[in-house]
Amino acid sequence: MFRKKIRASIVLLGAGIIGVAAVADPGMGENEFTNLQVLPKNISKKELQHIMVDDFQDGLGVGCNYCHAQEKGSLHLDYASDEKPEKEIARSMMRMTIDINQKYFSVEHPMIGDTTLIISCEQCHQGTSHPGKL
């Protein structure tokens, strides 16, 4: 029960941060994300937020700053930066998840965040950043 309350609090906090970030940057177009290497280049802001909040924050129990580095001299995150190694690990995990779904579960066009995925972050991570460690 306590873990569920903590997870719910983290999700709400993350959603609030994403909401503020979306409002704070009105000049950013719907599909102007940079440095997307696994996710589709034309992903919508709504789809990207769903993946980051529902898949990563919930599945791993982490916030945005777990993978995204802070902008130099700012309190904002630099989402395009590859400074933190966790970001490349996340990319590797996304590729692995896509491969598993395609090879072993015959999901024709697997994409992170898609409800047709049989295997997702949650199956292994179960709300923790390192599977097997509680």
Tell me how far the alpha carbon of residue 19 is from its chain's centroid. 15
The length of the chain in residues reads: 134
How far apart CA 41 and CA 29 sit, in angstroms, is: 13
The per-residue pLDDT for range 18-45, each reduced to its tens digit, is 655 554 444 444 567 999 999 999 999 9
Give the H or E element holding residue 59: helix 58-60
**Measured between alpha carbons, how far is 4 from 125 in angstroms, rounded to an integer?**
15
User: pLDDT-derived band of residue 99, with 50, 70 and 90 as boundaries?
Assistant: very high
- pTM tops 0.85: no
Is 127:54 a contact under the CB 8 Å cutoff?
Answer: no
Nearest one of 16, 24, 52 to 36, comparing CA atoms: 52
| C-beta separation of 51 from 91 below 8 A | no
